[in-house]
Structure 1
Amino acid sequence: MGVASRYWQLVKIDGAGRRQVQEISPAKAFFVDVFPAIAYGGQNAIADNTDRHVPDAEIQLQLLQLSRDAPTDRYLLAQRCLLCFISWQIEQVCLQLAANFGSVHGFGCADLLPYVLDDDGRLQPHGTYQSLSQKILQSFDPQQSSLTTWTTTRVKHDAALNQFLLECGVYMVSDWAILNDTRPQQLERIFREFYALTPPEIQQAQQLLESYHAIYRTARLQQRSLSIGGKCTTPTTQQLQEIATLLQSQTSQTLKSETVMTQLQKLATQLREYRIHVRGGSLPTKSLDAITVDEYTDTTKALDNEDEQTEFLQLYRPQFLACLEQALAVVTQSRVNRLQRKKGEKAKKFLQALKLFHCQNLRMTEIAESMGLRAQDAVTRLLKLKEFRADVRQQLLLLLCDRVLDLAKNYSYPDRLITLEQQIKLALDEQITQVIKEAGNQSQTAKINTIENGLFRERLCRYLDSLNEEI
């Protein structure tokens, strides 16, 4: 059962990016005309019954038929009623995603809505552009699923939404689907090049994946051959026991089904993090703000002596800060030089907007108003924060790798330098990612006042202060 008012009230995003609910009077009048018994429910006015529970499936089937067979004026109104309903379901999906992943990955429902709520509420389509809601409605088949289920599926597969989630570190594919479409040869390359694991560790992971394929994926393929679709479900206890038995025949190890499950989930997590990385997303990392020896065990795991580790860290920290400042200066000046070649005062506006956003905590809409720009999107295009952070990250990694490797050579034997270089590059990449992620969280969330003063922002503001006479 649903709520009647959702067929004439549209959830939308206004020009400032805020959620609002718009009542569409023609859609409301049409709904009352088509479903008088449901709308009035024996009462004197529909206004008294906007929260009345209604049979969604029956209503949607009739509206869908009208949207395809009725005269133009009526089919547009029937379509609008369905589009209103879809907008509410889109919001529910975003609320669910935010509840499941938002607190860990730094986003809320309000950050997701602009990617999927692009319906302006018009009765007559404007131009050739199709909103996501219109695409959902046009592709909906009531014989295959309910409108609620179909909307949920399409939203979770939306390219723009998934790209945003990926940048936040959320990869919307189940563990079992990831394991299903990863070949043992791929796993060997990923674990060797990305994780730098030893050959025995790689072989153990390959044997686990091959056993999983032999039992779980084979059963999955058999289901598909019988036209049994659906999502990949968690392996059953019997399947886990069969995987354990197969592993035992290859390795002589006796494993419990619970252990196999844990190992499969760990393997899927590693593959998920690799996919997020290669698609440009953010990986979970440790903070650089708290300076303790333990925080840097990844960087220094090749160093043997505790005193040497302490000395190394004392030298490393200033190098990191110096390289970060240099990277910020190089990338900022490069952007300014590029903008100066264009007409107008774009370079100066870029520096002003950068300072307002990072140093004064203003929102994009507030920056646009302060600088006399047309709207929030004008500020977004001017700053290009994702590109800016990516350039800083790359520049920082280049600068820091050279300096840290030179430092580390004083604390390691020559025959270990090749292994040491790979370990340090991976560790630095992880730690730099955290600094850039802190800056990214500021642009991805609306909670400006709760953002910590991370290294990226602190050093950028210090650099911008030094340019005061130019801004």
Structure 2
Amino acid sequence: MSLDNWAYLQTKQNPELKDFLAEYGFKHLSDWALLNRTRAKQLEKLSIRDRNLVEIFHGVYRHDRIQNRQASAKSSLKSCPDPSKNQLEEMLKRLKERDITINSTSELMKALKNTATQLRQYDIWSYREPLEIQDSETGGYAFRSDLPQTSICEVDVEERELVEYLHEQLKLTANQVIEQEIRNCITKLKKSKKYAPFADKFVTGLQLYYSEQKSLQEITHILKMSSWDQTRRILNPGELVAKVREQTTLNLLDSILKLAQQKGLTQIPPTPDYIKTLAEQIEIFADDEVFQAAAEEIRAGKNRSLNSPYAQILKQILSNIHQLIPAN
């Protein structure tokens, strides 16, 4: 006898092992034995159709088993054999009386086995202890304290921290750069002989554009500018997005490089290829999170909805007008 066969027989026939598994719902029962021993509590978990299947099974199969047990010696009675053809046909007849149509004995066998599978699952899980317990004081549920805690890989933790850091830095950097670029635009207008009179209208123009969603043509009339083209050259929201994007990605690259060096993720100084790859990844990340939506909503024209993350940051900054206009 091979070792595999010996081990199989030893474990399958070991009464102590079978008793131990039975305590946790892993009873070594055939489908027919499982159906034969089904109790009312288990039936409650089944659908109406499956309940009828089990009840009919009991009425035919279990009835025959009881009669055979009475007529035969216990030792000569085989443990729950497959239903006979006559038994299956009798079940089909009784199911039809309950308006349950099953077309053949093979289909009935399949239906009974499916029901047995459900009962087997019930047997297993009815012995399981819940993962959560109710707190008697709060009435809420919490994980059991005796359960082993999941071990989190240090690498996973570090990656998660880096991702969180990247999101935080992007938001912080975008705020700082947007504010600085608005200041730069105002300063540039003030230094221009041609556009100096409009420097004080720059913030108002952006507020009209982003907060009130006015078109450049409407802003032209409100701020008494000479033409749509002049308004576009002064405000130029698309150019502002481009400048903010460029400076944000540069600042973010510098911040991430410093962190990478601190954590030993790159050599000092980093190689040009490393910097290039990292810069490309940061640009993709920043575009996905902020700048792609910012550019698209500007191009949308009259139907635009200025609610992108960039627009929300900008509107918040514009609400602090006095902090943005440099003193003369």
**TM-score for the superposition, normalised by structure 2:** 0.46
Structure with greater Cα Rg: 2
